């Protein structure tokens, strides 16, 4: 076999490899592009939700009355927090699948995009938790305090126990 024959074989193998890679790569690139777009939209929505919760949290001090008298807001926020936590765990799982996929490279940006979405979900979870806590604290402080009991001087400890319990 001459050097020219070897060069022809190498060029044929090269072009066959390029064609196979291009066909596979097109499908992979479409999937990567779609995944990146989905993660970008998801991260944006999570960040927007966190910004809304932060604004709501900052505005709590504007209200003098009880915000959540029937605890329905607390329950809804807790349910939302549970959903965000499930999404957070799913994103971590999917990021790991991306790490394990040998077709993907760091340049594809999949891991970074998942990490950004995971961070946004964690931030939203934290701000919802803070909002829940602050609404509860606000409502405790806003509830009218009344002690209908009368105490004798020797019952000061009982009076303080009742005050702290209300």
Q: Are 120 and 46 in contact (CB under 8 A)?
A: yes
**pLDDT for residue 21:** 66
Residue among 121, 56, 130, 43 at smallest CA distance from 86: 121
Is 23 within a domain?
Answer: no
Note if the pTM is more than 0.85: no
Q: Name the one residue in this structure whose structure tokens are 């809804």.
A: 76
Is 13 within a domain?
Answer: no
Q: Which domain range does residue 87 map to?
A: 32-143
Q: Are 144 and 71 in contact (CB under 8 A)?
A: no
Is 24 within a domain?
Answer: no
Please state, in angstroms and rounded to a whole number, the distance separating the CA atoms of residues 133 and 129: 6
The structural domain count of the chain equals: 1
Instruction: Going residue by residue through the chain, which has 166 residues, state the pLDDT in tens, using 9 for 90 and above.
Output: 898 888 888 888 888 877 766 665 777 888 999 999 999 999 999 999 999 999 999 999 898 899 999 999 999 999 999 999 999 999 999 999 999 998 888 989 999 999 999 999 999 999 999 999 999 999 998 887 765 555 555 566 766 676 677 6
């Amino acid at each position: 076999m001459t050097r020219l024959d070897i060069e022809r074989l190498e060029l044929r193998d090269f072009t066959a490899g390029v064609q196979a890679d291009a066909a596979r790569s097109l499908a992979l690139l479409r999937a990567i592009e779609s995944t990146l777009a989905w993660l970008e939209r998801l991260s944006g929505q999570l960040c927007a939700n966190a910004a809304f919760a932060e604004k709501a949290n900052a505005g709590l001090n504007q209200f003098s009355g009880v915000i959540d008298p029937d605890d329905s807001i607390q329950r809804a926020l807790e349910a939302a927090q549970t959903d965000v936590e499930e999404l957070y765990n799913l994103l971590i799982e999917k990021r790991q699948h991306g790490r394990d996929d040998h077709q993907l490279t760091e340049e594809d940006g999949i891991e970074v995009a998942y990490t950004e979405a995971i961070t946004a979900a964690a931030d939203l979870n934290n701000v919802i938790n803070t909002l829940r806590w602050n609404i509860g604290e606000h409502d405790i402080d806003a509830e009218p305090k009344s002690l209908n009991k009368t105490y004798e001087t020797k019952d000061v400890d009982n009076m303080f126990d009742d005050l702290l319990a209300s």
